[in-house]
Amino acid sequence: MPRSVHRPSQMRRLSVIPIGVTAAIVLSACSDNGTDHPAAGTSPTVSKAPASRGVITRTAAESVIDHYQATNNRANARRSAQVLGTIETGTLYAQDKADYRLWNTWTKSEQKEYGSPFTYVDRHLWIPPASSGATWFAATVTASTTRAKALIIFDKGSGDTYKAALTLFKGKGESIPAIAVDRNGWAVLADPSKEVGGIAPAGLHAAYEDYWVTGGMKEGTRLAATTKPIKDALQIHRAAEKHGTADGYATKKFFATSPASVKVYALRAADGAVLAAFSTAHTQESLVKPQYRCKTADIVPSKEQAALGAGQGYLITDTFLGQGLASLTSRSARMTNIEWQAVGSRAAQCPKPA
């Protein structure tokens, strides 16, 4: 499903019910046999040596995307997580499963928009050479329903079937660059463990989440603080530190957690930058302050939190999974987009009197 259809989790309003007082809690919130062909849109230099092979042929990669579209549309029509699981994996799958659980909390127009059949057009395939040992390939596409441009990663991992692992739409004011290709037209990969501009792609998760947890005082210093994903995280962190939530009846804190997948996909862009796609995650804890806890106040979950499993209690813990996109150069490391989704919520109740 095009992730731009269901937007990154936004500010949600919940209610805390102390005696005689209604307050608001802010919830922040996503080898095929056959002849190989070069990546779309490229004109590779002709070599006298035997043609190299990609991890998948262009024809087979197109078929993977066609199958993904058809199956995703069928899964969305039925809201079937089982069907969706045959074509998606990792963070993307967890986010889209949560969408199905949240379906009844959406407006009719949102449901119609999300459920509308889509295709991916204007495709450009970025296929690594077989010699790289990669188990994945990438594609930049445009969603037919919204005309939004996205980078999709299809990975077969240790299995035989390619599944969509990440789908990242371009951030506001940003672009998804063309990928560098070698003389045979295969995508040039970058080493996720090698630092570029002071940070390795493998360290992006920790650096980004540091803005939620500490306001970017530790690992976060490696990321430029001028892009929208960082500004948004920093703004929410600072508001939580200063004001807590629920008109002062509760605190709000963030804790970095392990993402659904730790695999980072790094490609060399045609302009020389490293384009990295990765998963990230954190929990948010909304906790009634000690002087009110189990005495005069309790948290009532929003309809979204209730749909994801939370009941009423003095503590609500929300789990968020995100897909991040970053551009790394020798001069700077920039987060260019984030796709957030709340995927779970749970509450802790006060013990009952003996």
Contact 339, 169 (CB under 8 A): yes
Contact 325, 168 (CB under 8 A): yes
Q: Which residue do the tokens 């329903």 mark?
A: 145
Spell out the residues 6+ positions from residue 307 whose beta carbon is closer than 8 angstroms to its own.
101, 102, 104, 105
How many domains does the structure of the chain reveal? 1
Report residue 237 as tokens. 């962190």
**Residue 169, in any domain of the structure:** yes
User: What's the pLDDT score for residue 158?
Assistant: 85
Residue of 242, 300, 237, 235 lying closest to 25 (CA atoms): 300
Report residue 63 as tokens. 């078929």
- For residue 320, CA distances in Å to 142, 176, 183, 309 come to 26, 24, 41, 14
User: What's the pLDDT score for residue 247?
Assistant: 80
**Residue 147, in any domain of the structure:** yes
**Residue 3, in any domain of the structure:** no
**Residue 217, in any domain of the structure:** yes
**Residue 275, in any domain of the structure:** yes
Rg (CA), the chain: 22
**Residue 223, in any domain of the structure:** yes
**Residue 54, in any domain of the structure:** yes
User: What's the pLDDT score for residue 168?
Assistant: 96
Q: What is the b/e burial string over 12-25, where b = at least 16 CB atoms within 10 angstroms of the residue's CB?
A: bebebbbeeeebeb
**How far, in Å, CA of 123 to CA of 143, rounded?**
10
User: What's the pLDDT score for residue 95?
Assistant: 97
What amino acid is encoded at 239 in this protein?
A
**Residue 39, in any domain of the structure:** yes
> What DSSP state is assigned to residue 171?
P
**How far, in Å, CA of 12 to CA of 291, rounded?**
25
Give the residue ranges of DSSP H helices in 11-80: 58-78
- Could you report the per-residue pLDDT of 273-326, keeping only the tens digit for each? 999 999 999 999 999 999 999 998 898 899 999 999 999 999 999 999 999 999
Contact 154, 162 (CB under 8 A): yes
Sequential pLDDT tens for the chain (354 residues): 433 332 333 323 233 333 333 333 333 333 333 334 444 444 344 444 456 899 999 999 999 999 999 999 999 999 999 999 999 999 999 999 999 999 999 999 999 989 999 999 999 999 999 999 999 999 999 999 888 999 999 999 888 999 999 999 988 889 999 999 999 999 999 999 999 989 999 999 999 999 999 999 999 999 999 999 999 999 999 999 999 887 888 999 999 999 999 999 999 999 999 999 999 999 999 999 999 999 988 988 999 999 999 999 999 999 999 999 999 999 999 999 999 999 999 999 998 877
Report residue 132 as tokens. 């790289």
**How far, in Å, CA of 301 to CA of 289, rounded?**
17
**How far, in Å, CA of 99 to CA of 273, rounded?**
33
In 17-84, DSSP assigns E strands to 23-27
- DSSP helix, strand, coil percent of the chain (3-state; round to 5): 25, 30, 40
Give the structural domain span for 129.
12-348
User: What's the pLDDT score for residue 51?
Assistant: 65
Handedness of CA 199, 205, 208, 213 (dihedral sign): negative
